[in-house]
Amino acid sequence: MKTKLSIYILFLLWIPAVFPQTKIIFDTDFGADADDLGALAMLNHFQNKGEIELLAVMCWNVEKYAVSAIDAVNTYYGNPDIPIGLRKDTPHETPWNHSKVIADNLKHDVTYNNAPDATALYRELLGGSEDQSIVLITVGPLMNIKKLIDSKPDAFSPLNGLELIHTKVKEFVIMGGNFPTSKDEWNFNGNMPGVTKYVLENLTLPITFSGAELGSQIKTGEVFNDLPKDSPLYLGFFHFSKHAPWMNHLFKGKIIDNATFDQTAVLFAIRNGLGNYWHKVSDGICIADEAGGNIWKPSTNSNHSYLVLDKDIPQMEKELEAFMLGNF
């Protein structure tokens, strides 16, 4: 029989596993590759299980339905109040993107027209946060981060953007690049020459990269064929498999497994997983060029590191699918 003392000790041992929550801001190019959708589903499950506080989702993609789809996903998982910021630019419609099918079929309130500016929302959230309290995850091009760096003091904070990031963000996790070297990778390119180079040259806080070479080994998605047809994972991955230019030639009426890029960055940011899923290569610096390429240069004075997959790939695929489904 357990005594009151033993129950109290067990309670004290349980507390660190639940508190404090990791405070997350997630910056995504949601709408094209379905890995952003899988990563957002993971974040909602971690939020619902109390492991994180998802402060906001920032959207790089100005496709007309992207922010509506993000809000629809959050609402589906019971989190309709998560703020969504948008990079303000000229909107466009891209039929093969999976955002519209999610927005058309699921409840949402946020639209391109009423979503707040991402830079302003960043400044509001960071300005109201404790120092060194935020983990920032980016899984798309870095223009939102460049705009934040260049932002001026305002009512939310007397600090400029660069000062604000270094004061409030304790860790930056970037899905992007190829390691140790690459000529061109989408998140480092984004048809925005020099943006990644500018961001990496200005930030000195700890940055961990989950490169495209890691996520390309891990294939997930077919398991979502068994989900209800009105679930966001089914809707988005089915549309993506059928219409994405690099997927549609393989489509045979069902969701196809796809590379699992963004989910790796989310998993590392929340669960770390060093010694289990992967190990870090440190003592170097990621140098980006103007065209989306990067090299890894040895350096003993760097806060940069990148992940190298250690776990058996089929097992890694099953675990990431479980995280996307909330089965953990």
High-pLDDT (> 90) share of the chain, %: 93
Q: Provide the strand spans (E) within the chain.
A: 22-28, 52-59, 84-86, 134-138, 169-175, 181-182, 207-210, 219-220, 258-259, 278-288, 294-298, 304-309
Q: Is the pLDDT confidence value at 328 over 50? A: yes
Residue 167 pLDDT exceeds 90: yes
Confidence at residue 21, expressed as pLDDT on a 0 to 100 scale: 85
- Integer Cα distance of 87 and 113 in angstroms: 12
195 vs 300: which has the higher pLDDT: 195
Amino acid 20: pLDDT: 62
Q: What share of the chain is helix, strand, coil (3-state, %, to 5)?
A: 40, 20, 40
pLDDT the model gives residue 258 = 97
Q: Three-state DSSP class for 311?
A: coil
Separation CA 260–CA 170 (nearest Å): 25
Amino acid at 167: T
The residue-averaged pLDDT of 80-109 equals 97
Percent of the chain with pLDDT over 70: 94
Above 70 in pLDDT, residue 7?
no
- Polymer length in residues for the chain: 328
The pLDDT of residue 31 is above 70: yes
pLDDT at position 110? 98
- How does pLDDT run across 49-72, given as a tens digit for each residue? 999 999 999 999 999 999 999 999
The rounded distance, in Å, linking the Cα atoms of 6 and 118 is 49
DSSP label at 117? Answer: B
Q: What integer pLDDT is reported at residue 301 of this predicted model?
A: 86
Per-residue pLDDT band for 13 (boundaries 50, 70, 90) equals very low
pLDDT beyond 60 at 18: no
pLDDT of residue 3: 45
Intra-chain end-to-end CA distance of the chain, in Å: 29
pLDDT in tens, 207-241: 999 999 999 999 999 999 999 999 999 999 999 99
Q: What does the pLDDT look like over 242-287, one tens digit per residue?
A: 999 999 999 999 999 999 999 999 999 999 999 999 999 999 999 9
What does the pLDDT look like over 278-287, one tens digit per residue? 999 999 999 9
23-325: which CATH number, 3.90.245.10, 1.20.272.10, 1.10.10.10, 3.40.50.10420?
Answer: 3.90.245.10
Name which of 142, 175, 136, 174 is nearest 35 in CA terms.
175
Tokens standing for 77? 């998982």
pLDDT value for 267: 98
